[in-house]
Amino acid sequence: MTYEHILYDVAGGVATITLNRPDSLNAFTTAMIGETADAFKQCSRDAAVRCVVITGSGRGFTAGQDLGEVQARGDEFSIGPHLRAGYHRIIKNIVGLEKPVIAAVNGVAAGAGVGVVLASDIRIASDKASLVLAFSKIGLVPDSGLNWLLPRVIGQARAYQLAVTAERLGAEQALAWGLFNEVVPADQLAARVDEWAQRLAGGPSVSFGLTKRAMNRAWSQTLEEALDYEAYLQDTAAHTEDNKEGVAAFLEKRAPQYRGR
């Protein structure tokens, strides 16, 4: 598929998805939502992709739903189907993708954009990044999975605070609250994300993918079920070439050469 509103690039095992409407801080139009969801699906189909990076062009990550498009809608427009067919696909494609997804948060993420950040597995942010649950500023409720994702990371009191105040949470505070893994100076973001992406793309990909599946599933499991599921997944991981390579490399006192299978 050819994309108009995002950039999609694959190199060295890393797919990079760049939201690319910088004049509006990469606000999501319906077309861009579709392209983004499709790009994540493409990452799942392409065996050459072993890690995915999502970022924004210009000074923003994404300002969430494009409000110009919202205003242009007729009164008959129904948001429910728009969310289900659009943002839900993005969030589910990220969470369901059994490959590590890194959000390179280069600037402000607002509204649904915060959902995209939190659905990602590793979040590396520039010191110029910020998060804004902008929904209540326009009389909406958080969507894009945020009512599920955000309280899990920062607890319900802080999540509710961010939702009802729509305050701008700076990068350092987001780091302190566990929303970001790392914050780096803006001019070092690309290099740091590249280090992370190379490391993850060169790792034991089956193990990384199954770990993501196990942790996601564990939210809705009892301890007994989670233990049982771990044992099942470990059987799969233990039959990979990468497991044999990891053990051999340890015993031979050398760096492992993982091939992702």
Task: Decide whether 63 or 91 has the Cβ nearer to ligand T3D.
Answer: 63
Contact flag: residue 68 with ligand T3D (CB under 6 A):
yes
Tell me which of 7, 10, 24, 194 binds ligand T3D, using CB under 6 A.
Answer: 24
SS3 content of the chain, % helix, strand, coil (to 5): 50, 15, 30
Active-site residue set: 88, 143
4 near 36, Cβ under 8 Å?
no
Tell me which of 54, 103, 132, 200 binds ligand T3D, using CB under 6 A.
Answer: 132
Minimum Å gap between C-beta 124 and ligand T3D is: 20
Tell me which of 53, 63, 125, 179 binds ligand T3D, using CB under 6 A.
Answer: 63
Contact flag: residue 200 with ligand T3D (CB under 6 A):
no
x/- site string to ligand T3D, residues 135 to 174, per CB under 6 A?
x-xx-x--x-------------------------------
Range list of β-strands (E), the chain? 6-11, 14-19, 51-56, 60-62, 101-105, 108-110, 122-126, 130-132, 168-170, 182-184
Task: Decide whether 15 or 27 has the Cβ nearer to ligand T3D.
Answer: 27
**How long, in residues, is the chain?**
261
Tokens of 187: 């001019």
DSSP-assigned states of every residue in 131-164 = EE-GGGGGT----TTHHHHHHHHH-HHHHHHHHH
Q: Which DSSP letter does residue 29 get?
A: P
Task: Decide whether 51 or 134 has the Cβ nearer to ligand T3D.
Answer: 134
Tell me which of 19, 122, 129, 134 binds ligand T3D, using CB under 6 A.
Answer: 134
**Interface with ligand T3D by CB under 6 A: which residues?**
24-25, 27, 63-68, 70, 79, 82, 108, 110-112, 132, 134-135, 137-138, 140, 143
